[in-house]
Chain A
Amino acid sequence: MSALTHPTPRRELSILIVQMGGIEEVFRSLMALKAVKHLYPEVQLHFIVRKEASAPLRRVDWLASVIETPACPKGEDSVAKVALWIDQIIHPHYDLLVNWTFSERFARMAAIATSLIPALVKLGDYAREDLTIASFDAWSMYRRSWLKNGISQDIHHTDIITTQLLTALQIHAGDPNPDSGYSAVTSRYFFKNAPAEIPSDWANRAKNLKWSAIHAASIGERGQEWIETVLRRHPDAGLVILGEHECDWEIEVNPRVINLSGALHFDSLILVLSQCSWLLSGPNAIVDLASLINLRVLYSVPPGESLDSLQWTESGPYGNGHMVVVSEFKPEIAYAVWSYVQSEWFHKGSLSLSAHFENLSLASALTDSRIYRSRIRPAQEGGGVCFENAIESSNRAPCFEAWMYRVRGQLARAWFCGWLPGVEAEVAKMGANPSLIKRIREITESLSVLDRLSLEGATVAKALHSAAAALKNQHLMTVEDRAVIEEHGKKLLEIETLMDRVVQVEPELRGLSEWYRQLMHNLNGETISQMAKESIHAFELVNEGVELMSLYARKTLELAKPKAVQPEAGSHLTAIGPEGSPSRY
């Protein structure tokens, strides 16, 4: 029986975060810890980070310690140095260790460190004795099976790690105390003040202007056109150009534009950002930093495989009120969105974004772009950040990709949070259109095959478990017993092959087979009987997923069924389909 069967008194909990990824992952980890520290203010948070990414953590005064990876100059005994480093960091005993490193480049390093450092409870990826990487918990398996394999779903990286740690804390430390909230973490001034050398241009800027920042490198050359438009049309706006490296944009000399690219270190960057009202940026760590300090972001993201691809939502800006434009960067669209949100205080929602585009004669530009606004969902809708269509004219039923994206996220919430959405209401909200209905009909057949296969898999695994559990010795058995076990094993392999075939036919269901594969990869049992028991569970989980997806499909198809409407006097019965159009079904 575990030492942690009973919740540990909260004040004694010390948590070690292993985050050896890039700076954007460090910011996301801080965002998650913000919530954890708010709900469990007594916990002691320790943080392991690569020395190249440690600067932000030095400015967070509620972290108990920040441990950098050791420098290993060439020629020195790096093994001895690392051994000494490990010995030093294991001195305090950690109650929980969480490996949040996700990026492929640093995942192995972090997994090995996770295996080496002792803790009472571990979460995240670790290195097994054969040096392969496995996961200690369900959320980490989910990240490896779906997010690493490009299977889009609607849960942000920050929400995944936050939920992972909060769930573990609830299990091991009991419910949080919302009244004891630690206010420092929710402040806009997230990082403690450090004396920063501010470039004189910024110190002497006109304070009566509303300043917005633009991250030059992630926006590209056409950012200059955006700057020119803003300067021309908004005399009350000032712009500051940011970036890791100096950018050589040819902007006419104007006190309303300050170029600080390549001129700021972390402390001065924080100071400048905190004095701006918006940041225009493409994918870059500065977006995560802005989210952390509650600076609103106009995020420009190039489309992925298709305009409707939603892969970017996993790492987009986090929080309320950010705007996202999905298209190759176009200064006129960025300007239209920026000028709309700049004047929100004035029109207070009475002007729609599409009307604003029409006023600017830019309505046609909306055809090859998508615009979203971020929002933190209420807990009863599943919580976390979501991105809603900001153009009401496109408030139409989602394409199949967007439908799957939402349903996949809901599978995860059902699997890991035990939370089931009101499917009927949600489906009604999403709506339906002919092409969506057609695609859903197509997957329905594959879903019913997967349903049968997962049920059969669970039955065979149960039979294998019973046969193996009846053995007196797991290693020595009679020829007859061995034949029975081999027979069950073969059947399981056949079922796996059939599941793979279904996914070949319908690749949109790959998430279910990847999830099964990941669960199999992480089997912990040492005997056939234990492994068979875990296999039963894996098939049951896949089956739960299949059933929930089928429920969504069924409810969406029901939306498309013709409905009889009450005839007006003298008129004939009419069948109406989705969106009130005459039904084609």
Chain B
Amino acid sequence: MVADIQLLQGKIIDDPETRMKNVSTLIEELALEILSEDELAVAATVSDRNPVQRGTA
């Protein structure tokens, strides 16, 4: 059996300047992902810091 170089080499992109057509959509989506993660992180910090706010006291 021979390893398949085509599948293992990754995607070769001839022109590094070539950007995807929907760059703005991707940036919006990435911002949303980061934003929602930040909100989750803030919520986790608040609940760790203050058990009263979690309703456990």
Q: Which residues of A are in contact with B by a Cβ distance under 8 Å?
A: 2-4, 50, 52, 69-74, 78-79, 81-83, 86, 93, 96, 106, 108-109, 112-113, 115-116, 118-123, 127, 129, 131, 136-139, 141, 164, 167-168, 171-172, 245, 414-420, 537, 541, 544, 548
Question: A138-B4, A415-B4 given as contacts; is B29 within 8 A of A131 (CB)?
Answer: yes
Given contacts A118-B17, A129-B22, A171-B5, contact A79 B12 (CB under 8 A): no
CB under 8 Å from chain A, chain B span 38-54 = 38-39, 41, 48
B57 contacts which chain A residues (CB < 8 A)?
Answer: none
Chain A proximity mask over B10-36: 1 for CB below 8 Å, otherwise 0: 111110111111110111111111110
Complex partner residue of B1 from A71, A122, A420, CB under 8 angstroms = A420
Measured CB to CB, the closest approach of chain A to B46, in angstroms, equals 13
Minimum CB–CB distance from A72 to chain B (whole Å) comes to 5
- A164 contact set on B, CB distance < 8 A: 8
- Kindly state the separation between the CA atoms of A420 and B1 in the bound complex, as whole angstroms: 7
**Pairwise interchain contact B19-A137, C-beta atoms closer than 8 A:** no
Known: A137-B10, A139-B8. A418 touches B37 (CB 8 A): no
In the complex, A83 Cα to B11 Cα: how many Å?
Answer: 24
Q: Is A109 within 8 A of B3, CB to CB?
A: no
Given contacts A70-B34, A71-B38, A109-B37, contact A127 B26 (CB under 8 A): yes
Chain A residues, CB < 8 A from B22: 129
Q: How far is the CA of A399 from the CA of B16 in the complex (A)?
A: 50
Check if B16 sits within 8 Å of A93, measured CB to CB: yes
Min CB distance, A102 to chain B, in Å?
Answer: 16
CA distance A3 to B12 in the complex (A): 8
| CB–CB B37/A50 < 8 A | yes
With CB as the reference atom, state the residue of chain B lying closest to A141: B7
- The residues of B that contact A141 with a CB separation of less than 8 Å are 7
Q: Smallest CB-CB separation from B2: which chain A residue?
A: A418
Q: How far is the CA of A364 from the CA of B25 in the complex (A)?
A: 61
Q: Which residue of A lies closest to B38 (CB)?
A: A72
Cα distance A96–B32 when bound, in Å? 26
Say whether B34 contacts A78, CB under 8 Å. yes
In the complex, whether B56 has a CB less than 8 A from a CB of chain A is no
CB distance from B10 to the nearest CB of A (A): 4
16 examples of A-B residue contacts, CB within 8 angstroms: A52-B41, A70-B34, A73-B38, A78-B32, A93-B16, A112-B33, A115-B20, A118-B13, A118-B17, A119-B13, A121-B9, A129-B20, A137-B9, A168-B8, A414-B1, A419-B3
With A82-B30, A118-B18, A418-B2 as known contacts, state yes or no: A123 contacts B10, CB within 8 Å: yes
Docked Cα-Cα span, A108 to B18, in Å, equals 22
CB atoms of A118 and B19 under 8 A apart: yes
Give 4 closest A-B pairs by Cβ, nearest first: A418-B3, A138-B7, A123-B10, A109-B33
Residues of chain A lying within 8 A (CB to CB) of residue B31: 72, 78-79, 81-82
Q: Which of B8, B25, B35 contacts A72 (CB 8 A)?
A: B35
Q: Which residues of A contact B35 (CB under 8 A)?
A: 72, 74, 78
Return chain B residues, CB-CB under 8 Å to A245. Answer: 48
Picked from B2, B14, B21, B28, the residue with its CB within 8 Å of the CB of A79 is B28
Nearest CB in chain B: distance from A94 CB, A = 8
Determine which of B1, B3, B4, B26 lies in contact with A116 in the assembled complex, contact meaning CB atoms within 8 Å.
B26
Q: Whole-angstrom distance between the alpha carbons of A129 and B21 in the complex?
A: 8
* Least distance between A203 CB and chain B CB atoms (Å): 27
Kindly identify which residue among A72, A86, A172 contacts B9, using a CB–CB cutoff of 8 Å: A172
A73, B25: Cα distance in complex, Å: 20
- Apart from the given pairs A69-B37, A78-B34, 20 other A-B contacts in the complex at a CB distance below 8 Å: A4-B12, A74-B39, A82-B34, A109-B30, A109-B37, A116-B19, A116-B26, A118-B17, A121-B11, A122-B10, A122-B13, A123-B10, A131-B25, A136-B10, A136-B11, A137-B10, A171-B8, A172-B9, A415-B4, A418-B2
Are A116 and B27 in contact, CB atoms less than 8 angstroms apart? yes
